[in-house]
């Protein structure tokens, strides 16, 4: 077998294997407006405590008095646990305030940065641009 073919095959395989992890992660700037921050207040409908992203669904009353479902995206459940979050802190029916980055497409989706619980405690997601 030609040594040039062997070297080319090894180098090509190495490049392909290195490229695989790069496709696994994405920038939140693609989906969320990094220049704007908003807050919404509502009642927890459900919590999807999972990896690679945890999701909190809350019902928010809009200015017209109508209920709207907002989806709040967070980092992984593993990273939230390391920051002191616990699923028991977010029970269905609890009223809370969420601060974060709004979706670029105008949907009711938010990249959650901070959650203020009814007892006044704050849970920080740790993914804010300023690094809080």
For residue 130, the model assigns a pLDDT of: 47
Q: Average pLDDT of each block of 10 consecutive residues along the chain (132 residues)?
A: 77 65 62 92 96 95 96 94 93 96 95 94 72 41
For 115, phi then psi, to 5°, come to: -120, 130
By three-state DSSP, how is residue 14 classified?
helix
| Overall CATH class of domain 28-124 | mainly beta
Q: Where do the structural domains in the chain lie, given as residue ranges?
A: 28-124
- CB contact at 8 A, 54 and 48: yes
Any idea of the CA torsion for 34, 36, 42, 43, to the nearest 10 degrees? Answer: 0
Q: What residue ranges in 18-62 does DSSP mark as E strands? A: 38-48, 55-61
Chain position carrying tokens 């992660």: 25
- The C-alpha atoms of residue 66 and residue 55 are separated, in whole angstroms, by 22
Q: How far is CA 45 from CA 23, 39, 59, 68, 108, in A?
A: 32, 17, 6, 11, 14
Chain position carrying tokens 């203020």: 116
- The C-alpha atoms of residue 8 and residue 112 are separated, in whole angstroms, by 46
Q: Which helix (H) or strand (E) holds 73?
A: strand 67-73
The model carries a pTM of 0.75
For residue 36, the model assigns a pLDDT of: 93
């Amino acid at each position: 077998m030609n040594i040039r073919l062997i070297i080319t095959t090894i180098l090509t395989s190495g490049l392909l294997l290195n490229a695989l992890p790069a496709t696994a992660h994405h920038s939140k700037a693609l989906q969320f407006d990094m220049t704007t921050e908003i807050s919404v207040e509502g009642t927890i409908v459900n919590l999807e405590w999972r990896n690679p992203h945890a999701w909190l669904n809350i019902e928010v009353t809009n200015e017209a008095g109508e209920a709207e479902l907002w989806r709040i995206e967070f980092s992984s459940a593993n990273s939230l646990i390391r920051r002191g979050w616990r699923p028991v802190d977010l029970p269905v029916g609890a009223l809370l305030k969420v601060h974060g980055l709004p979706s670029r497409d105008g949907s009711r989706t938010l990249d959650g940065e901070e959650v203020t619980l009814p007892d006044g405690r704050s849970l920080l997601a740790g993914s804010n641009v300023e690094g809080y």
